[in-house]
Amino acid sequence: MRVIVTGGAGFIGSAVIRHLIDDTAMEVANLDKLTYAGNLESLASIAASPRYCFYHVDICDSQALDTVFAEFQPTAIMHLAAESHVDRSIDGPSDFIQTNIVGTYSLLEATRRYWNDLPPEAKKAFRFHHISTDEVYGDLEGTTDLFTETTPYSPSSPYSASKASSDHLVRAWQRTYGLPVLVTNCSNNYGPYHFPEKLIPHVILNALEGKPLPLYGDGSQIRDWLYVEDHARALVEVVSKGVVGETYNIGGHNEKRNLEVVETICELLDELVPLDTNSERSRSYKELITFVKDRPGHDRRYAIDASKIERELGWVPQETFETGLRKTVQWYLDNDQWWQRVLTGDYRLGRLGGDN
């Protein structure tokens, strides 16, 4: 397979590309606009591979997309390019409309033009895999309900509404034009190379600097946490073996309250880099936890039923929340150069060297 990964310099996209290059024989084209969250340094370990190439392209640029398709001749698209931070979508929804909706439309049309000209066998084998989020489903009221592939959409934020819109576009392009699509909806990802504005890396880095650890409301919001490398494996299973037209929910079986997540990070840091080891009074990073005003429209609970992908494709997560979070905290302790360059903005300097 020859796979175009959109948003491949982002958190999940880079994990997918590392997995494709390290663990499969596929050829990969990384197509990324390199907005603030795009970081090619997350791909340093595979950048020299002869099976990898990078295109600095905005998915809203139809002409550039046509050029990439003509040059690379993909057999599959894995569409991860998206604006994804809920807080940013509340402060400025325009970028989310442009990238997540207009960008997905532009990519679908470029794909359709390319796909229509393929010979019959290649046309039949082609796949368009759209990667989405569980946030399109909205809020779960009960304590035992789960999101399934047939849960009605009820997005709460500009971010989730824009992703819901893109999901609908993808399914419409199959229904109307016959484009062979697959859709996945995942729970909250975490792991190495996560941009520091997100909850888990934000807490880790603030704690290391002795800064407050802000938690919205009372910290009782519940999320299902999925280790990013488990998610990458699931996505490759779907694009390789998934049934055209199907949706697959991907979750980690790790429902945790936000407060519990932050307290667990603090406990790991207490163990790995304890505070005031010479002090008579035992201190904990938990003392830095600070509750702040809740954000507008904040969903209380997300939880994924991932039984379909487990049953039909044989995927199960390899990491528990405990093992995955320990790996994540240790990674940030061991890779301070990566996140320090993100915090200073130096990662954006000279990052276009060698692009197509």
- Give catalytic status of residue 52 as yes or no: no
What does each C-alpha distance from 336 to 10, 135, 194, 229, 340 come to in angstroms? 18, 31, 13, 20, 6
Report the phi/psi class of residue 276: left, alpha or beta, with left for phi > 0 and alpha for psi in -120 to 50. left
d(CA 84, CA 163): 9
**Which residue type occupies 19?**
H
The one catalytic residue among 55, 105, 114, 159: 159
Distance of CA 121 to the CA centre of its chain: 32
* Residue from 27, 135, 230, 255 carrying the catalytic annotation: 135
Show the CA angle centred on residue 165, arms to residues 159 and 166, nearest 5°: 95
- Helix, coil or strand: residue 218: coil
How far apart (Å, rounded) are the C-alpha atoms in residues 310 and 248? 9
> 2 with 76: CB under 8 angstroms?
yes
Q: Is 159 a catalytic residue?
A: yes
Q: Which of 83, 134, 229, 237 is catalytic?
A: 134
Calpha distance 202→268 (Å, rounded): 15
Under 8 Å CB-to-CB from 162, ≥6 apart: which residues? 83, 89, 93, 96, 97, 99, 100, 101
Burial class (CB in 10 A: 0-12, 13-18, 19+), 181: buried
The DSSP output letter for 246 is -
Question: Letter for the amino acid at 51?
Answer: R
135 is catalytic: yes
Active site (catalytic) residues: 134-135, 159
